[in-house]
Amino acid sequence: MNKVIDAVQSDAGVQQALETALQQEFKEEWKDIAPLLSVRELNKFYAPGKGCGDINFDLYPGEVLGIVGESGSGKSTLLSCLSARLTPDSGNVIYNSERFGEMDLYACEESMRRVLMRSEWGIVHQHARDGLRMNVSAGANIGERLMAVGERHYGDIRAKAEEWLTAVEIDTGRIDDRPSQFSGGMQQRLQIARNLVTHPKLIFMDEPTGGLDVSVQAKLLDLLRNLVSRLGLSVIIVTHDLAVARLLAHRLMVMRRGQVVETGLTDQVLDDPQHPYTQLLVSSILQN
């Protein structure tokens, strides 16, 4: 009997040891993965209820975070604060930069923020005219970021521009045309190519499919989804369209009047919403 107990005990001991070892290994593995972006106690209000507040979250490498909520809920304000374009009233945004290491976006030099914007980050604006230079060719639009980071070989710049036009499904024959000659959907795709050419790690998008026809939207979403998974991009995407969020985001943050009311995995939030406001949002999409 003692033998049996011993055996069981030692078995349990082995089990224990194994588990501890496994956990240790697991921890070792995860220890290396620091959040790409950490947001703490972020506040930015234009007026009570207008802006965003009490924002806390971490974004891990390769994650696609959707920020959803009705119009006026503070999504764009938050995205601007996260992407170093709008100084918050209080709070911190810590970014883990390839080049600069861990940096507090609003405590560092502006020059560093601007380096990020043209190298490690991409920003896709809702209105293409805010994100493109409308008076120079598509090739120059894509090439600009390369030239901004020191590329000085015309042939190489042009070859990369062609490569990225192809990647966003724009005929390379259009390389010397100006964006003003492009359709809305093409302009958005050009904006994406212009951003991706320097291989950014983190992309911020504000309603990238807004204002496009449904069929054009579908094509753009499909392209975005492929690019994001192929390139392993981390993305923060703002949208009021839950269908867009469902298709692209791993995780959702639901905003209402500047506050986050619910967060979770996309399927959980959309299929089993906990907060009454999210339930309302989800049911209104179901009605459509």
Partner 1 sequence: MSTATGYNFAYLDEQSKRMIRRAILKGVAIPGYQVPFGGREMPLPHGWGTGGMQVTASVIGEADKLKVIDQGADDTTNAVSIRRFFAHTAGVETTEQTAEATLIQTRHRIPERPLQADQILIYQVPIPEPLRFIEPRESETRKMHALSEYGAMQVKLYEDVARFGHIATSYDYPVMVNNRYMMDPSPIPKFDNPKMSMMPALQLFGAGFEKRIYAVPPFTQVESLDFDDHPFEVQSWDEACAICGSDHSFLDEVITDDNGSKMFVCSDTDYCRERVDQGFVGTAADLSTSEQETEQ
- Please give the Cα distance from 94 to 92 (Å, whole number): 6
- Please give the Cα distance from 42 to 89 (Å, whole number): 8
C-beta of residue 209 within 8 angstroms of C-beta of residue 239: yes
When the beta carbons of 76 and 259 are compared against Mg ion, the nearer one is 76
CB of 217 to partner 1, least distance (A): 30
CB of 153 to partner 1, least distance (A): 5
Under the criterion CB under 6 A, does residue 72 sit at the interface with ligand ADP? Answer: yes
Out of 59, 63, 73, 179, point to the residue binding ligand ADP (CB under 6 A). Answer: 73
Q: Which segment (21-29, 66-74, 98-106, 221-229) binds ligand ADP by CB under 6 A?
A: 66-74
Which residues contact residue 211 at a Cβ distance below 8 angstroms, ignoring those fewer than 6 apart?
A: 126, 127, 184
- Please give the Cα distance from 193 to 100 (Å, whole number): 25
Out of 76, 92, 137, 172, point to the residue binding Mg ion (CB under 5 A). Answer: 76
CB of 191 to partner 1, least distance (A): 16
From the list partner 1, Mg ion, ligand ADP, none, which binds 51 (C-beta under 5 to 8 Å, kind-based)?
ligand ADP
CB of 152 to partner 1, least distance (A): 5
C-beta of residue 253 within 8 angstroms of C-beta of residue 265: no
When the beta carbons of 40 and 125 are compared against partner 1, the nearer one is 125
Nearest to 225 by CA among 200, 206, 208: 208
Residues lying near partner 1 in the complex (CB under 8 A) are found at 110-111, 114, 118, 133, 136-137, 139-140, 143-145, 147-150, 152-155, 157-158, 175-176
Q: Which residues of 223-259 are buried (b: 16+ CB within 10 A; e: fewer)?
A: bbeebbeeeebbbbbbbbbbebbbbbbebbbbbbbbb
Under the criterion CB under 6 A, does residue 26 sit at the interface with ligand ADP? Answer: no
DSSP-assigned letter for residue 181: G
C-beta of residue 254 within 8 angstroms of C-beta of residue 212: no
Q: Which segment (9-17, 54-62, 64-72, 209-217) binds ligand ADP by CB under 6 A?
A: 64-72
Q: Which segment (68-76, 139-147, 196-204, 268-276) binds ligand ADP by CB under 6 A?
A: 68-76
When the beta carbons of 38 and 126 are compared against Mg ion, the nearer one is 126
Place of tokens 């590329």: 151
Under the criterion CB under 6 A, does residue 50 sit at the interface with ligand ADP? Answer: yes
Out of 71, 135, 215, 287, point to the residue binding ligand ADP (CB under 6 A). Answer: 71
- Please give the Cα distance from 276 to 254 (Å, whole number): 11
Binding site for ligand ADP (CB under 6 A): 46, 50-51, 69, 71-77
